[in-house]
Structure formats: structure tokens, C-alpha cells
């Protein structure tokens, strides 16, 4: 998608699998604060004992506040700056397959600069047999939205996979929009796959896309974060 037009509302989005904060948490906070996002879509956030307090502490370390998610969304967490107002939230849990990890999604209807949008985040299974149904459940909610959608996810497969194609259908893959689909997001130790994606409504302009690969991101998690600058449609 091209350069921003007039009258749009800028939004900086970070989508990040933080590896359950098992790595260098000081580096993690530094990575996020350095890029000054308006919203962060977190995968593998706090989801167990004292998850509310842990989510708030994580958000504070980023200079943000909790918008939605946590335990009810099974670790998917939406964080926002004070520039973004959260109007409504929803959490979803995908059907449980016995013996597998629970997965889910978080959603928040947001307002920034007079422009409304739906922010969404999910983390699909590592099991290829489970992913298509989870992707379909995520997609049903995205497709039902009347607001412009911004969805970040760790899909645990690349763009050639069926789950990825399900989520991406009808949306703009931000990496492809900026001709940067060759940038790998996993793993930091051996980058060879793009399994993390940021998808936006066609009404949203992708201004820039980056996979943030620095010495600090390699210390902060096993995934690289995706940083995307967007232009939301101006309010009517």
C-alpha cells in the first residue's frame, strides 16, 4: 500500500511473542520503550497465578496500560498508550483438544484521534492438526467486525500454511504491503521462518513495516517483534 494520504490517523503497532518473559526482561522493556508504540499485541503474556498484577507490571515496564486479555484470552494481551482509548473488550478461548495447550484470542474496540478500530491478537497451536480450526474461529470474529481490523498473531506457520491463509483472507499482510515478506520473525537464535503476522483492513494504509532485529531483541525473547506504522481512516 502506498504513502499516507491526508486526513488519516497515524498508529504505531508492535506485535510481539514475549516468550512468557523467560528471557531478559530488562531488554524486553527497553525494546518496547525504544520504539514507542501506541499499541502492543502480546503473545505469551501472563496467564496464570496473579496474572492481573503481572500484566499491569508488564504494561508499566513498557510505559503502557492494559487494554484487554490475560488469563481469559490465555496469555494474549493488548496493551495501549494513553493516546488510545479502549471502548469494549472481548476474550475468546478456542475449543480444547485433550492433551494440548489451550489457545485463545483478545479483542478491543479502540478509539484514537476520532478513528475507531478493532485491535485483535491471537496465538495458534504448534500442532498443524489444530491450527486450521483455531484460525477459523479467530477469523469468524475478525470477519464479523464492522470497524477496521488490526490483527497480530503468532500463527506457528508461514504464509504458505492453511491457517495463515485463513486469517489473511480479505486483509492486508503488512509485510507483503511493504515488500518485506522475506524478513524472518523466528527464531532469534536462528532466523529462518516468518510465523508472526500483522494483518489490517484494506481501509487501513500500511506506511512502514519492520522486524526489529537488534542485540537487545535477541536477548529479550525467542521471537523478533513486528513493528508497523499505519494510517487509519479519518473519522466521518
Percent of the chain at pLDDT exceeding 90: 92
Look at the domain 9-232 and name its fold. Deoxyribonuclease I; Chain A (3.60.10)
pLDDT at 130 over 70: yes
Q: Where are the alpha helices (DSSP H) in 68-225?
A: 131-144, 162-168, 174-177, 215-220
Give the per-residue pLDDT at 61: 98
The owner of cell 497480530 is: 152
Give the per-residue pLDDT at 95: 83
The pTM of the full predicted model, rounded to 2 decimals, is 0.95
Give the per-residue pLDDT at 102: 82
Residue 222's Cβ-count burial label (10 Å; 0-12, 13-18, 19+) is middle
pLDDT at 2 over 60: no
pLDDT at 3 over 70: no
When the pLDDT of each residue in the chain is averaged and rounded to a whole number, the result is: 94
Q: What pLDDT digit, counting tens, does each position of 76-124 carry?
A: 999 999 999 999 999 999 987 655 678 999 999 999 999 999 999 999 9
Q: What pLDDT digit, counting tens, does each position of 152-173 carry?
A: 999 999 999 999 999 999 999 9
Amino acid at each position: 500500500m502506498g504513502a499516507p494520504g491526508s486526513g488519516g490517523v497515524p498508529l504505531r503497532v508492535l506485535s510481539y511473542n514475549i516468550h512468557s518473559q523467560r528471557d531478559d526482561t530488562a531488554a524486553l522493556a527497553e525494546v518496547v520503550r525504544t520504539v514507542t508504540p501506541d499499541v502492543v499485541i502480546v503473545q505469551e503474556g501472563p496467564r496464570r497465578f496473579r496474572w492481573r498484577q503481572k500484566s499491569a507490571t508488564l504494561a508499566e515496564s513498557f510505559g503502557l496500560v492494559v487494554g484487554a486479555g490475560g488469563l481469559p484470552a490465555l496469555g494474549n494481551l493488548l496493551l495501549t498508550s494513553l493516546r488510545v482509548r479502549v471502548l469494549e473488550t472481548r476474550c475468546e478461548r478456542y475449543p480444547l483438544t485433550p492433551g494440548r495447550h489451550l489457545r485463545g484470542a483478545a479483542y478491543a474496540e479502540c478509539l484514537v484521534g476520532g478513528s475507531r478500530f478493532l485491535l485483535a491478537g491471537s496465538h495458534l497451536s504448534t500442532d498443524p492438526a489444530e491450527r486450521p480450526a483455531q484460525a477459523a474461529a479467530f477469523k469468524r470474529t475478525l470477519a464479523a467486525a464492522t470497524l477496521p481490523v488490526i490483527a497480530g498473531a503468532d500463527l506457528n506457520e508461514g504464509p504458505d500454511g492453511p491457517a495463515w491463509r485463513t486469517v489473511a483472507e480479505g486483509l492486508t499482510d503488512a509485510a507483503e504491503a511493504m515488500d518485506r515478506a522475506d524478513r524472518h520473525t523466528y527464531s532469534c537464535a536462528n532466523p529462518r521462518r516468518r510465523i508472526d503476522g500483522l494483518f489490517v483492513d484494506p481501509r487501513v494504509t500500511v506506511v512502514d513495516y519492520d522486524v526489529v532485529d537488534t542485540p537487545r531483541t535477541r536477548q529479550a525473547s525467542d521471537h523478533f517483534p513486528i513493528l508497523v506504522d499505519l494510517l487509519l481512516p479519518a473519522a466521518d
